[in-house]
Structure formats: structure tokens, C-alpha cells
Chain A
Amino acid sequence: MSAMFKLVGKPAPRHDAWAKAKGDQLYSDDFTMPGMLYGKALRSKYPAAIIKSIDTSKAKALPGVHAVLTAKDVPMNVEISKFGQMKDVGGGFEGLYKVLADGKVRFKGEAIALVAAETEELAEEACRLIEVDYEVQPGVFDPEEALKPGAYIVSSDEGENESNLIMESHINKGDVEKAFAEADVIVENEYRVPPVDHAYLETEGGVAWVDDNGVITMRVGTQVLEHYRTIAKVMGLPQNKVRNMSVPMGGGFGGKEDITVETFLCLLANATKRPVKMVWSREESLEVHSKRHPEILRYKTAATKDGKITAQKVEIIMDGGGYKLLTGWVQMYSTVNAPGCYNIPNVKVDSYSALTNNTPSSANRGFGCCQANFASELQMDELAAKLGMSPLEIRLKNCLRNGDEICTGFIPQGHIALEEIAKKAWEGLEATGPKPDYVDGKKIGRGLAIGMMSYGRLTFMHDSSRVGLRIELDGSVTLRAGVPDLGGGQASVLCQIVAEELGIPMEKVHPYIMDTHLTPLCGTTTATRQLYMSGNAALVTVKVLKERIIKKAAEMLDAKPEEVQLINEKACLINNPLKSVPFVQVVGALSNDGVELFHEGQFNAPFTDVPNLHDMKGRIWPDFTYSAHAVEVAVDEETGKFEVRKVVLCYDVGKAINKNSCEGQLEGGCVYNQGYVTENMGWENGITKARSFAEYLIPTAVDAPEIETIMVESGGGLGPYGAKGVGEPADNSIAPAIVNAIYDAVGVRLKEMPVTPEKLLKAIQEKNK
């Protein structure tokens, strides 16, 4: 079958690679407009405080200042947001979205007022002139403290002001207590994982203006075009009066999944009737946009002496920070993934999330899954060590296989390749040579971790995507799709699919993307869903046109439609390729006949009901992507510093539609979450200490390991041509593999990230005492 593909499976350069390599690609900050003003937000000095009053008179009096807005100027300052989704799901899955702080300030850096002025400097000065009278509050910064009776209440808003609990969710399968009573071994541990910044190179920003039809229009890079609906609501406008002509992002990773500058810009543009630009500084970005959820995870695992896990009991406490945002959704991922990618008869998971006065937590590549994966994969290694088994053995003994059910009782439809990929990754590392004891005086260790993560949204969100195609009379194709492109090649792969099906070169398909007024909405670039959802939508759409073309070509070739194929810009007979008619001629003939040369098609994911959160059962996602990372580290026992020397990663990608893109995601995800082990926001009582890239250290070219990428293509995914999504699963099992390798090197297992040299050194010294 694969031999028949012309384009699918090839490492095709993306349509936008040239513009990006030439510096021609325009991003949110690259637009300037005549008469443009600069917007700034005044941000809270304290993580917890009551705003007694705000005096903007001095700021308003400053010449060159055109607008100063506070909460009372926002038509609907508080809205219960669906965060871009289409279905009403209610409960913890819809969250309070507040544009500007009023009542209680809930985290440090929360926006209190907005300014638009002639220059950036003037806007900053105006912010300094706004007088806010705060009554500082004690606040609460630990999610466990926040859940205790009598804790400081973070919110002053209705519906949230009785307790800090955001949501609880539970899984009960079998009888864990009985299994613990009968167990040969029990491993019990507490893990703590930190907040993570997305650290995209492009901070949040954009421009907005009111167009000549009164439509509030913006150019803002976002992962969720559908936010225009929330923005319209907040502004008191109909949804068709707000438009985002979005632009490619300089990275997203979940950090541009919630609203960033959009509402601020639209409010300022509307108030001043002038174009307004706002771009957040790096410091602002590090301090105020949402982070990956910090979590406390308590595990108790039971096993037989030959290594079969009989029970897994997990308690999870999530820090949601000052606003709920996507916490409820993230919690689904942490909860269901808590037991790990294993077949375990008895499972109990109890998870709780809390509001605190920390920076809000929300989406970050891995979305609650990598927290649970970190803990469960360390737990596995400790169990293996206790039983005298190898890390590979214990995983092979317990990992999910085709036909097994996950902890909710659901049996995944897609292929489960855990056994194969775990072996391939580990054997791949072993094939690099026997493990040396020391290299350059540093102790060498090797570690393994495996994982699973969904692609596609929670099925109770009733997800859908649409793609539009128009065949031009010269045989080129215009593809219209509201697919936010954050750098993963989300739009390019759609062109590749369409070109493949129509038998034309990829350059002949031009994508027009991300415009809420003009492109069919594809849904969010989140949840590793675009290839799966919009890839299938592209396929559904192109097949309709393909059928029309083939039918006409068959007529022209005097053959039956099933005898005709589209290849090399021709329609030809499958059995006699010499008998052909150019693609463009068929298109011309259809046009002459008055047949529609355009189509917009929709793909729907499987739909389920919202699960009972007290006893979650059934299908929660469409399917999963499975990962394995084998890692070699070198640890300096004198300083506690370590380096990641080599990684062999293996994934079942189903089908690598664009080999380069697919590999690029896997390698990028690997280094992204290599950073999970060491990156340090330095949170202290609601204050972010890491306020620049000099303090928030992400991996550099020197830190990145040599990566060997092994892609298994089982064809067993639910995406086009059997593909699975890889964007988020790409960062799933690397962090625990690194920490397990450190254990292999020096015999200490740190259960709390970040793993700093100080912590590691202390642990090594304690062990050697």
C-alpha cells in the first residue's frame, strides 16, 4: 500500500519553510498600521489583595494617552467561558474568565487596567500614574493548604467564593485494599512536579483595529481562533463583529491556548477607534501567562514477587493557581493517566485541584499527562529495583497490549505498540555500545521510561473540524482552513494530504489559514488534534472533489470510474497509464458542465457523554500514542551536575505523513521535556523569581543530547492513513527516563523536580554517608 503514496510519508519541506528561512514570515509583532497606538497592562503588585479603589485621573490627563480602562469599562468583565469549545459541558469544564481584576486580585501580575498611548514609553508612564489602593491579603500558595477548612479564599466571585476546590475526580476499578493485603511487595512514594513555562521564543502580542464595517479585527497568533466568540461576548458584540486574521505563532506549546492579548487589544481599539499594538515583554510573559500544573502525586503500588502489578492507588493534588482556566480538562489527563500505561486489575485514583494565589496553571504540552507519567515511571523503576528485575522486564511484564482495557474500562481501538517500542528504544541504546562506568570522570547511567498519551480531544467535548477546498481553473488548489499553525506544520500536512489524493504536486496546493471570517473553523491547535481532526476533514473534503473529477475523467477516457486514478497531474487508467487526460482538462470540463469545484467537509470525532467524575468509566479520548525513551546520562558526583548524553526514542506514529515534521515533533518534544527535569520558575509565595531567560534556563544546543529517533509505523491510528498524533505525546516519557538514568548512575532517585545540582549533590552525599 505505502509504495503507492507519492507524497505521504516523504520528508517534504513545509509550504512556509522558505518564507521563514528568508525572514519574510510575519508574526504578531511584525504588523504596523497608520495611527497605531501602543497598549500596556497595569499589573498587580501583590499575589493576593483586595482592590479598594483605582484612580486613573492622572494617567488619563497625560498628553498622548488615549484610553485608560478598568474592569468597570468592560461590558461583560466576567464570563463563564467555554474556552473555545462548541459543546456545553458545564461543571468544572467551563471556567470563569475575567478580563480585568476587580474585587480580589488573585495572582501577582494579574491585569488591573489597560492603557493605549502614542508610544510604548508613554503607555508605561501612564501605567505608573494609575493609583491602586490595595488591601494586601495573606493569600494561599500551597494547594493542600488551600483545600483545608478555614483556608484563605482566593476568589471573590460568585460560585467560587465558598471554597478553593476546583474539581475532584475519581477512578475505582477492582479492589485495591484487598490487593494490598495480598501483595508480595508494596512501593509507596510521594512525587512533586513544578510549574513549567512554555518559553516560546515569541512572546504574546498582536494588533487590533476597528475596520470600516465596524468589525473589531485583530492579528493575533493564537492556538484557539474560536476565542473570538468569548471576546465578542465580553465586548457585548455579536460574534460576527469580531474577527481574528490570525498569524503563525513563534511557538505555542499550550501557552497560547488561553486568551492572551486579544481582549485587551479589542477593548483598546474599540475605545480609541485607532489601531493598537500590544506585545508582552519576556518578563511579563514569564510572570503572568499560565504554566504547567504543579502537582503532588502520592503512589502506592502492589505487585507479586514475579513482578505483576496488582494494584495502583494514587492521590493527586493539583495547583490551579489564581484562575481555573483549563484545570478541569487537565485534571482528566492526570487522573486517567495516573496508573501509567499498564494493565492493572485494581486501581483507585483520587484527584483534587485547588485555586491558589500562584500564577494560573493551564495547558502546557503534555497537559496533565506528563506529571502522572513522571510519577508512575519512577514508581515502576523502584518496583523493578526492589524485585531485582530490569527496567525493561518490569515494563514488558505489565504494559498494555492490544485488547487490554485502561483504568476506565475502555479498550483502545488503535494499535498498542508499547512492547515493541520499549524494546526498540532500550535495545537501540544498548546497540550504541556497552555502558561505560565513567566518561571524563563522570558516572554514567542509563534509564528507560515509557508512556501513553491521547491525541484528539476529550470525547465528551464532541469535537469537529472543517476544511474547505477550491480547485482553480489552472489545476491549482486553494485550501482554506482555520488551522492555527504554531510551527508544527499543522497547515502544510493538510496540503500534503490534498495533493496526494488529487495526484498533484504539493506546491500546487496553497493554504489560506486562520481567518475567523473566511476560513472554515478547524477547532483548536491543542490536544494533539490537528492532524487527526483536520487531517481527516481534509481527507473527507478532498474525496468529494476527487470523486467528481474521477467521474468526469472516466467519461473522457471512456472508462469506469473505478478504473481511473489521479497521478502526476493526470487522470489515467490504472491498468494503462498511457491512456490519460491532464488534470487541468478534467477541471475545465467540469467547469463547463457547471459542476461545483469547491467543497467544505466536516469530520467529527467519536462523541461520548460527560463521565461521572466520582467513578470515571468508558471512553475519555479517541485513542493514544505510545512512547519510549532510553537515555544515557553522565553525573558529576562532585558537583551534582548532570548531562543527558544520548537519547534513543521510539514511537508508534501510526503513519509518518511528513517524516521531517514527525521526527521534528519527537525530537523537539524530547528536548522540551528534558527541560522539565531542570527548569525552575523559582516560585515563592506567589512571586516568580525566574523573570528572564538568564534565570529560567531552557536547554540550549549544548545541553541537547544526541537523539536517535525510531519511528514505528503500525498504521494503527485513527488519523488519515492510520496516523497518530505526536505533538504532545512527544514530550511524555523523557523526564522520568532521565531521572531513572540518574538513579542508575549514582543510586539516588529524586522524587521532586526540578532536579537541581544542589539537591542531587545532597542526595549523593547522604547516600554515601
Chain B
Amino acid sequence: MEISLHVNGKTYRLNVDPRKRLIDVLRDDLNLTGTKEGCGEGECGACTVILDGQAVNSCLVLACQARDKEILTVEGLARNGELDSLQKSFIEHGAVQCGFCTPGMLMSAKALLIKNPHPTEQEIKEAVAGNLCRCTGYNKIIAAIKKVAEDS
């Protein structure tokens, strides 16, 4: 079917199989491979994107369900070549190890800060509780998000 997707400020007209998941359209059709697949079942958060301001697992959303909505992926976080403050903070805090969880983690954090610019530590933890990370032990990730919230 023909749909329009608004991704990172650009509009795409696409012909997609109605059963195709959003993650596959992003990765395969739009070559936005920053969104990762860790489980395909909504359990790991590696595929998190922001859909109309809401963090969602793009492996659980069909592409056609996202039609005409605003989609933000990790590739859309930087503005005019300037990294988002979350990206900078992750780099500075050493919150990125293998980096496979990082895009999803950033998108969950971004969605939180859009809604709640000054979250408590507990709110931060809960916002990224659906984003598994096997490398970092989370402490540096929480600290990186907290710093951005404090500085804003």
C-alpha cells in the first residue's frame, strides 16, 4: 500500500507491504540502520523511536500505523551537524560501550525530556527500564541523562 512517512523532518512516499513493521521500513527502505533490532518482540528497546512525541518499540508498530505521524529516529537527533545534548552527554560520560543499545536508549531519554525536562533519578530509570543494556551497568547512562536534565 501507498503511505507517507514523516521521518526526521522529511516526508517519504512509500509503497509498503501492510504487514511490514516500522523497524523494517526504517532500516531496509530508508536505510536508517541506526535503529537496531535486539529481540523483535518488544522486550529490549533497541528499536525505540519517537512517534508523535511518544517512545515506541518500532518492532511492534506496523509501518502503516505510523503513516502521517512524526517519526524521530537516532539519525534525526543531531541538528545541522550539532549533536543533541543527550548524544554529547552519553559520549562524555562513557555511557556508550558496544553502542547497540545506545540509539534506543537515546530515544527513550529524549522522549522523557520532551515531556518532563526535569525528571527525578527514579523517573529517568523508569523511562529507560524498557531499554536493556548488557555492557554498562546503567550507572553512566543514568548520569548522562541526569546531567542533561540538570543543565537545561
**Binary CB contact string for chain B from 22 to 62 against chain A (1 if under 8 A, 0 otherwise):** 00000110001111111111011010000000000000000
CB atoms of B137 and A282 under 8 A apart: no
With A18-B91, A22-B83 already in contact, the answer to whether A486 and B33 are too (CB < 8 A) is: no
Tell me which residues across on chain A come within 8 A of B124, comparing CB atoms: 701
A329 near B: Cβ within 8 Å? no
Q: Are A672 and B137 in contact (CB under 8 A)?
A: yes
B98 touches A200 (CB 8 A): yes
A181 CB-CB contact with B under 8 Å: no
CB neighbours of B137 from chain A (8 A) = 664, 667-672, 704, 707
Tell me if B102 and A200 are in contact (CB < 8 A).
no
Cβ of A591 within 8 Å of any chain B Cβ, yes or no, is no
Tally of contact residues, B, Cβ under 8 A? 55
Contact with A along B115-152 (1 / 0, CB 8 A): 00000000011101111111111111110000000000
Contact, CB under 8 Å: B36 / A202: yes
Closest to B141 in A: A701
Q: Cβ of B99 < 8 Å from any Cβ of A? A: yes
| Smallest CB gap from A660: residue in B | B94
CB distance from B46 to the nearest CB of A (A): 5
Q: Give bound CA distance, A327 to B103, whole Å.
A: 36
Looking at chain B's contact residues, the main secondary structure is loop
Provide the bound-state CA to CA distance between A200 and B41, in Å.
15
> Which residues of A sit under 8 angstroms from B100, Cβ to Cβ?
27, 200-202, 250-251, 487
Contact (Cβ within 8 A) A201 B46: yes
Within 8 A of A (CB), among B1-27: 27
- The stretch that binds B, out of A144-152, A264-272, A690-698, is A690-698
In Å, the complex CA distance between A664 and B27 comes to 30
User: Is B33 in contact with A706, judged by CB distance below 8 angstroms?
Assistant: no
Interface string of A9-47 (1 = CB under 8 A from B): 001011011111111111101101000000000000000
Set B35, B41, B99, B136: member contacting A693, Cβ < 8 A: B41
Distance of B119 from chain A, by nearest CB (Å):
13
Whether B71 sits at the interface, judged by CB under 8 Å, is no
Check B75 for interface membership: any CB of A closer than 8 A: yes
Cβ of B131: which chain A residues have Cβ within 8 Å of it? 701
Give per-residue flags for A459-495: 1 if the beta carbon is below 8 A from chain B beta carbons, else 0.
0000000000000000000000000001111000000
> Quick check: B139 and A698 within 8 Å, CB to CB?
no
List, in ascending order, chain B residues with CB within 8 A of A161's CB.
none
If the complex has contacts A200-B98, A282-B39, A701-B142, are A668 and B135 also in contact, measured as CB distance less than 8 A?
yes
State whether A668 touches B43 (Cβ < 8 A): no
Chain B residues with CB under 8 A of A672: 134, 137
Smallest Cβ-Cβ distance to A26: which chain B residue: B33
Partner of B94, one of A198, A486, A663, A701: A663
Q: In the bound complex, do residue A487 and residue B91 qualify as a contact, i.e. CB atoms below 8 Å apart? A: no
Shortest distance between the CB of B142 and any CB in chain A (Å): 7
Q: Is the CB of A768 closer than 8 A to any CB of chain B? A: no
Indicate if the CB atoms of B92 and A13 lie closer than 8 Å. Answer: yes
Quick one: which of A728-768 are within 8 Å of B by CB?
none
Write out the residue numbers on chain B whose beta carbons fall within 8 Å of the beta carbon of A663.
94, 140
Contact with B along A168-183 (1 / 0, CB 8 A): 0000000000000000
A22 touches B134 (CB 8 A): no
A592 within 8 A of B: no
Identify which of B88, B99, B133, B141 contacts A25 (C-beta below 8 A). Answer: B99
Chain B residue, CB-CB nearest to A672 = B134
- Min distance, Cβ B74 to any Cβ of chain A, angstroms: 4
Tell me the bound Cα distance from A25 to B134 in angstroms.
18
Bound-state CA distance A647–B82 (Å) is: 37
Are A29 and B37 touching (Cβ within 8 A)? Answer: yes
Residues of A contacting B78 with CB < 8 Å? 22
> CA A486 – CA B96 in complex, angstroms?
12
A700 to B137, alpha carbons, bound, how many Å? Answer: 9
Contact for B38 among A253, A282, A667, CB less than 8 A: A282
Residues of B within 8 A of A201 (CB): 36, 38, 44, 46, 98, 100-101, 132-134
A203 is an interface residue with CB less than 8 A from chain B = yes
Does A199 sit at the interface, judged by CB under 8 A?
A: yes
CB pair A693–B43 under 8 Å, yes or no, is yes
The answer to whether B36 and A664 have CB atoms under 8 Å apart is no
Q: Are A198 and B43 in contact (CB under 8 A)?
A: no
A11 touches B94 (CB 8 A): yes
Known A27-B36, A488-B97, A667-B136; judge A701-B87 contact (CB<8 A).
Answer: no
Contact of A702 among B77, B88, B101, B125 (CB under 8 A): B125
Q: In the complex, how many angstroms separate the beta carbon of B40 from the nearest chain A beta carbon?
A: 7
**A277 CB, nearest partner CB in chain B, Å:** 11
Say if the beta carbon of A281 comes within 8 Å of chain B. yes
Q: Which residues of A contact B (CB under 8 A)?
A: 11, 13-14, 16-27, 29-30, 32, 198-203, 248-253, 281-282, 486-489, 660-661, 663-664, 667-672, 692-694, 698-702, 704, 706-707
Show 21 residue pairs from A and B whose CB-CB distance is below 8 angstroms, ordered by the A residue.
Answer: A17-B91, A19-B99, A21-B83, A21-B102, A22-B34, A23-B74, A25-B99, A26-B33, A201-B133, A248-B99, A251-B98, A251-B100, A487-B98, A660-B140, A664-B136, A664-B137, A698-B134, A701-B126, A701-B138, A702-B126, A707-B139
Q: Besides A21-B106, A201-B133, A664-B94, 11 other CB < 8 A contacts?
A: A16-B99, A21-B88, A21-B96, A22-B34, A23-B103, A201-B36, A202-B100, A248-B98, A660-B140, A668-B135, A698-B134
Which 3 residue pairs are nearest across A and B when measured between Cβ atoms?
A: A23-B34, A487-B98, A250-B100
